[in-house]
Each structure stands twice: as structure tokens, then as C-alpha cells.
Amino acid sequence: MKTRAGLSERKASFKWIIILCLVSFGLGIFITDGFARTTYSSGPLIIRPRQERGLRVISEDKDAKKKYGEEKDFIGEVAKTHEAIKSLHETMGTVEMELRTRRNPKEAYPADRKKAFAVIGVNTAFSSRTRRNSLRNTWMPQGKNLQEIEQKEGIVIRFIIGHSGESKNILDRAIDAEDARYKDFLRLDHVEGYHKLTAKTKKFFTTALALYDADFYVKVDDDVHVNLGVLAETLERYRSHPRTYIGCMKSGPVLSEKSSKYFEPESWKFGEDGNNYFRHATGQIYALSKDLASYISTNQDALHKYANEDVSVGAWLIGLDVNHVDDHDMCCQTPECVSRARNGKVCVASFDWNCTGLCSSVERMEDVHQRCGEANLKQIWMMSYDNKTKDSENIKDQVDM
């Protein structure tokens, strides 16, 4: 009996052991499977089953291809945008040019605009008839000679003058009659006045550009002697240089005293009292290449006018990429031009600095022409600047015409 009871107890114990093992195994599987599901989805540091790793590789490859496609599309869109901006810029440039032409009809140059090498504008006034005659009798060609130098050499020379404040008064009629006789004027849409020279200079460039397609535009005062051949040679040296500004460069003091002839009302803009202006060509004569003259013409409404014309022109160009040519052959004093001519050298232009032109230009222009002119070199060394007496009867005969 004891034996059977013992066996029965051992069987019951073994049975419970098996049951407990099965329960433990089941619990283990359940817990392990839940833990695996949790860890596989919770972070990148847990190693995933092979199948999931394969799916991940495929997914990442798709993501990379998708990203590459997106980058490719983005680059394509950038290229399209760049082309659109470029096209818009070109369109805006065309529209701007059209608007500029409408604002300033003279910018719409005619198709038959004359081609020239240089247009020389000689600044003059209503009261300067005798000065003009002194130039006509010396270095400025007249009649057929004026036409010939224009046709053969491409050098156009004109007196530049505007009109009076009144419609067709006696001053305007006198200029009309003089022009009818000599045909050497370029009339400007400008009201004449001593303190309006800067505006007149702007108008000269605008008008000359509208009439002539030239390489250079030259401004000269009517009390300066010019050797046209030497001037042409000087300009020719810079014909291939864009944005060229040729003259005698100076840097005079900014005058703040109202009593001064060259008083600058805006002297405060140039710094402290006693300061000098920036470098600019003296106003007696200077030359601008076509692109610089065009710049002034195009932007004339926005360019500030200072009291002095030469300063104003220098100010308009000082901030640009300009080739400033300081040529002192364009500003020989009369004793210097005589001395150089005796040695076979000729200046481009001659005048007296203390007079900002030839002193007593009407009386002395012919004498300077004989001594310093390029056409008379063979006779120059035979003349004496100190004791030469001048016969200006030819000029005086025309003064009161």
C-alpha cells in the first residue's frame, strides 16, 4: 500500500512538473515575442530579423532614389528659374530703353544720323561776334574748307549757342543772320545765361549725339587757339579705348567766398574749407568718347549741376570706370606754345591760365595762330614773340557786320 501510494504521489508530482514546464515554456514564448515586437519598433540600435533588414534596405534604396529624384527636380527648377530671370532681365532692359526713348525723344536717334570722327562744339555767346570772327580768320575752317574737313576727315566744327529768353528777339535774329552767312552754328534748345553753362554743356552732348554718330565729342571755348591736326592725332591714339576723358586735369580749390568769380554755393559737400576739388579737366577744352557723352545725354535729368561747368563734368564721371587722360598739350600757355613751335613741336590748344583763355583774345588770336599754328611751322622760328606787332584789320572789318 505504501508503495502504491508513493508511486501515485510521484506520478502526480511528475505530472505537475510537466504542466509547470509547459506553462513556463508558453509564458516564455509569449513574453519573448512581445519583447521582440516592442524592441524591433522602438529604436535603431536593436538588431532586426533578416527579413525586416531586407525590407529596410529596399525601403532605404527607394528613399535614396526618391531623394535623388527630388534633388534632380530641384536643380531643374533652379535652372528654369534662372532662365526665366534672364529672360525677364532682357525684357526689362528692352522696356527700359523704350521708356527712356519716350522720355527723351532725342535718344531715338534717326537712321540717317551722320557718321563722324569728332564733333567740336565751340561755346559762344550772343555778345561774342568778334571772338567768333577771330576764330574764323585763324584755325576754324570756313565755307568749302569747313565742308571738306567734315567730309574727308570726319571733323565737324560748330559754334554752339542757345536762344534768348524772349521769342525771336534781336539777339536771336542776329545769330540767324550770322548762321545763314557762315553755316557754322549748332543751335541748342537752351536759354543762354552766364550761370547756365553746365546745362548748356549737357544740351550740347545731347544735341550732338542726336545729329552725329561720332567717336569723340569735344567742347572748346571761343577764346582758345586749337590746332586741329594735332587734336585729331591725339584723339586717334585713344580711339579704341572705351570711356575716355581727355584734357588738362587739375584740382583747384573749392571757393566758398561769395565774392569770388568761381564761388561754389555747395562747397560744404567737398569737406572742410580749404579743400580741393577732385581731378577734372579744365573747361577751356576737353574731349569725351562716345560712350561717356551718351552716358551724360541719357542721364542728364539726374546729373547734378555745380556752379562750375568743368567741375560738374568731372563730378559726373568721377564715379565711373573712366580712363582719365591728363594731356598738357591741350593747355599750353602762349609763351610755351611759341617756344615749343620753334623746336618743331605743336600744342593741341593754347591759352593763358590767368585769363582762363587768351588774354585779349580778339586782338591776339591771329598772332598766336601765326606763332603756334601747325600750318606755319616753317616760319615760326623767324618770328619774335616779344616784338611782333599784330595787324588785326581783317577781324575789325567784320566786327560790325
Closest CA to 372 of 228, 229, 247, 227: 227
Query: At which residue does the C-alpha cell 567717336 appear?
Result: 215
pLDDT at 270 over 90: no
- pLDDT > 90 in the chain, percent: 55
Amino acid 194: pLDDT? 77
Most confident of the ranges 80-94, 103-117, 255-269: 255-269
Q: Once rounded to an integer, what is the mean pLDDT over residues 26-36?
A: 55
Q: What is the mean pLDDT of residues 175-193?
A: 96
282-292 residue pLDDT tens: 999 999 999 99
Nearest to 392 by CA among 69, 152, 28, 138: 138
Q: What is the pTM of this model?
A: 0.69
Average pLDDT, the chain: 80
Q: For the segment 18-30, what is each residue's pLDDT rounded down to a tens digit?
A: 676 666 666 665 5
Cell numbers placing 393: 584789320
Question: Which of 27 and 225 is assigned the larger pLDDT?
Answer: 225
Query: Lowest-pLDDT range, 93-107, 115-129, 154-168?
Result: 93-107
pLDDT, average across residues 369-392? 54
Tell me what pLDDT residue 349 has: 98
Q: What is the pLDDT of residue 379?
A: 41
Residue 70 pLDDT > 50, yes or no? Answer: yes
User: CB 42: neighbour CB atoms within 10 A?
Assistant: 9
pLDDT given at position 297: 96
pLDDT number for residue 94? 44
pLDDT at residue 55, rounded to an integer: 47
- For residue 241, pLDDT over 90 is answered with yes
Per-residue pLDDT band for 273 (boundaries 50, 70, 90) equals confident
Whether 206 shows a pLDDT value over 90: the answer reads yes
**What distance in Å separates the CA atoms of residue 154 and residue 116, rounded to the nearest whole number?**
4
Q: Which pLDDT score is estimated for 166? A: 84
Instruction: Kindly state the percentage of the chain with pLDDT values over 70.
Output: 67
Q: Are 103 and 201 in contact (CB under 8 A)?
A: no
Half-sphere exposure of 282 (CA within 13 A, CB side): 24
The pLDDT, as a whole number, for residue 380 is 37
User: Which of the residue ranges 43-57, 128-142, 243-257, 362-376 would you say has the lowest mean pLDDT?
Assistant: 43-57
pLDDT value of position 44: 43
